[in-house]
Structure 1
């Protein structure tokens, strides 16, 4: 076992290769989205002792305060504390690689088989599961963030705004401003005991990562404008997806289906369904979208776009978290954004309900899936049972 030093990282740091392989193995079984945070903690804190418990908990607070998929960012944070910026990249890539590779393969298979009768029935059932998953996420968000009449009103306004054709990105921005006014009783957080925040030099890796991401986007803009459009859209979705992977669903649906019509609503739902049968975060749906639009190159561009800003947010946030965490305006704005996602998820669930091919079996599958999710059944078992039922039931 490695000894943890006073800064929360190991006295003898693991190599990036060790970190990559450890998180790659974890990424192969990373079903369950945010629930994977507990397994990341077990790996980095309990078994490998790469990160001190208190430091990891502070990292989770960071990941819940910035946009992006929480489990992916928790992996990056653990890697950052274990092995610096290279460790963060190794953990992030290792944890996400299985999902991206599997989704790329499934996207190609989808193009070849979706018209087959059995496959069509399977995806019909999985569409119902996606509706249940989004509805369940809306309920979970509501239980966590809707506390009074102000919250309920803001969530309802967001749902109506999206139903009327408004942009969810604009809704998120407006919600942050509304939060500043509505939640004036929210104060800044007390500083976390321990070493003082890192200096600005600690942002060097973040600056380097931002440079690489910008260079990638510039190269696409010059060489393949269609791929740049995929990259830019996914990056914008990622930058506004506060609250974890499911918060990206309304943003992604709006950009891909309504604004640009890259996919119809049914195909988008199929992509989200495939995102549930692969390990990793639900936002790997972006890889599916990219593949449907522009093949493997499109999948790569969309994947970098949806995951790049999240990784950058961890590198920027880790050395500066105490500064903005203690800011009352920041906390008010974040509360407004998180409340808004309750309404956005509810509106998207309604939209998905209009697309699902309803029949008696679909109703039974949907009700059963939602009930199972509310009881805490692992999402992989819910998806598997629903898929089998869709094929077998008339």
Structure 2
């Protein structure tokens, strides 16, 4: 875990929405530390609180250790602490070492061009995250027309209409979705 989260901090650029898809795909598909639904729970938790990157990665570290070590809370907390520390240590080193250079070259054409390409890549990664998470919501089982969760699809469309047509505040949409999700859980819809 130490190597993985240090590597994650060093090779991902663009913030939490670029790190999260990378981590999600590896911890779910390759390492199998978490299930797809556990990863979705971590992302949902992060979206209801400030600081999505720290929340998601700490959650992943906790759940990975918790799942791997027979549901031990103590080792889960150890995984959480290790993940948090080794995710952010390289970033602080980069900031302290790179800050003087960043100010000197901020107006350089090559730097501006590179940053615009990074921004384009970040948009692609966010779209990938949308598909990764959306698949788990729309197709809770296998990906087939018989497995489509039509209630979830209807809610997604409703929220999109509120967001795009009526410019509804995202905080209200998150709160409405939480209430809808809890109601759906209690009513077994």
Distance 1:240 1:342 in 2: 17
Deviation at 1:367, TM superposition (A): 2.2
**1:121-140 matched pairs, under 5 angstroms:** none
2:112 to 331, 334, 338: 331
1:392 shift after superposition: 1.8
- Conserved in 2, the CA contact under 8 Å of 1:245 and 1:282? yes
Give the structure with higher Rg (CA).
1
TM-score, scaled relative to structure 2: 0.74
Relative to structure 1, the CA distance from residue 302 to residue 372 in structure 2 (aligned partners, 3 Å threshold; closer, same or farther) is farther
Of 299, 305, 313, the match for 2:86: 305
Q: Are 2:54 and 2:84, in contact at CA under 8 Å, matched by a contact in 1?
A: no
Alpha-carbon distance in structure 1 between the residues aligned to 2:126 and 2:106: 26
Aligned match of 1:377: 169
Q: Is the 8 A contact 1:233 1:255 kept in 2?
A: no
1:290 partnered with 2:81: no
CA offset at residue 340 of structure 1? 1.6
2:14 is paired with a residue whose SS is coil
Q: Deviations over 1:12-45 (max 9, x none)?
A: xxxxxxxxxxxxxxxxxxxxxxxxxxxxxxxxxx
Q: Does the 8 Å contact 1:234/1:302 carry over to 2? A: yes
1:79-228 to 2 correspondences below 5 Å: none
Instruction: Name the residue aligned to 2:40.
Output: 269
Tell me the secondary structure at the aligned position of residue 91 of structure 2: helix
Higher relative contact order (CA 8 A, sep 6+): 1
Measured after TM superposition, the shift of residue 278 of structure 1 is 2.4
Unaligned 5+ segments in structure 2 are 66-75, 141-147
Partner of 2:179: 388
CA contact (8 A) 2:45 2:55 kept: no
Residue 293 of structure 1 deviates from its aligned partner by 1.5
Q: Pick closer, same or farther for the CA change 1:352–1:311 going to 2, 3 Å.
A: same
Contact 2:43 2:52 in 1 (8 A): no
Alpha-carbon distance in 2 for matches of 1:234, 1:373: 34
Q: CA RMSD in A?
A: 2.3
Q: CA–CA distance in 1 between the matches of 2:14 and 2:46? A: 18
Counterparts of 1:383 and 1:244 in 2: how far apart (Å)? 21
User: Which of 88, 96, 100 is the matching residue for 1:315?
Assistant: 96
Alpha-carbon contact 1:246-1:283 (below 8 Å) kept? no
Q: How many residues align?
A: 164
Q: Is the 8 A contact 2:6 2:86 kept in 1?
A: yes
Cα separation, 1, equivalents of 2:129 and 2:136? 11
**Equivalent residue, structure 1, for 2:10:** 239
**What is the CA-CA distance between 1:315 and the residue it aligns to?**
1.8
C-alpha separation between the residues in 1 aligned to 2:46 and 2:8?
Answer: 17
Unpaired segments ≥5 residues, structure 1: 1-229
Name the CA distance, whole Å, in 2 between partners of 1:283 and 1:368: 30
- Does the 8 Å contact 1:276/1:282 carry over to 2? no
Instruction: Report the TM-score when normalising by structure 1.
Output: 0.38
